[in-house]
């Protein structure tokens, strides 16, 4: 007998529905913290792994086991998640590493733009600057 999909009244899957494969092991305290920070940043394991330059399965072990990370990996992970290095190891609420910077989707998009050739970056940034000027004029 096949299980039925649980669909909410709006026709979408329930918000608390687990994504991915069910876990084989419980997360460590560090893994739970990294998982929560990644979810709060709106990033998938694949996206974080790509920014770290590793494969998704390697990153997944960071959220499940006690990893041996190099200092530069810890710093890069904190940067990707938008928190301080201290926040990765703290039990309190995570504080953003900087104020006023782009978060979530905007941050990811601008990181992708940064990887493009300079000429393409300039064209995209010119469009964004024009849109910001128009938006600024509308709010005056």
**Fold of the domain spanning 24-98:** 434 Repressor (Amino-terminal Domain) (1.10.260)
Distances (CA, A) of 122 to 63, 70, 107, 117, 118: 37, 35, 17, 9, 6
For 91-120, how does the pLDDT look when each residue is reduced to its tens digit (9 = 90+)? Answer: 765 544 444 444 567 777 777 887 888 888
Separation CA 10–CA 3 (nearest Å): 20
Tell me the pTM. 0.53
pLDDT tops 80 at residue 85: yes
Q: What is the pLDDT of residue 93?
A: 55
Top pLDDT among 90 and 1 is at 90
* Mean of all residue pLDDT scores within the chain: 76
Contacts of 98 (CB under 8 A, 6+ apart): 82
pLDDT, tens digit, 9 for 90 and up, residues 57-79:
999 988 888 888 899 999 999 99
Domain spans, the chain:
24-98, 102-140
Neighbours of 137 (CB within 10 A): 8
> What's the rounded Cα separation, in Å, for the pair 34 and 80?
11
Distances (CA, A) of 15 to 9, 28, 31, 69, 136: 12, 24, 22, 33, 35
């Amino acid at each position: 007998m096949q299980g039925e999909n649980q669909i909410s009244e709006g026709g979408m899957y329930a918000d608390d529905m687990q994504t991915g494969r069910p876990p084989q092991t419980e997360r460590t305290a560090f893994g739970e913290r990294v998982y929560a920070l990644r979810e709060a940043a709106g990033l998938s394991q694949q996206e974080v792994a790509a920014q770290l330059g590793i494969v998704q399965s390697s990153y997944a072990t960071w959220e499940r086991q006690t990893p041996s990370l190099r200092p530069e990996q810890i710093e890069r992970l904190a940067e990707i998640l938008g928190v301080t290095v201290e926040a990765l190891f703290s039990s309190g609420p995570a504080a953003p590493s900087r104020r006023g910077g782009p978060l979530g989707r905007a941050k990811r998009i601008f990181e992708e733009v940064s990887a493009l050739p300079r000429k393409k970056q300039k064209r995209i940034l010119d469009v964004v600057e024009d849109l910001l000027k128009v938006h600024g004029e509308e709010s005056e």
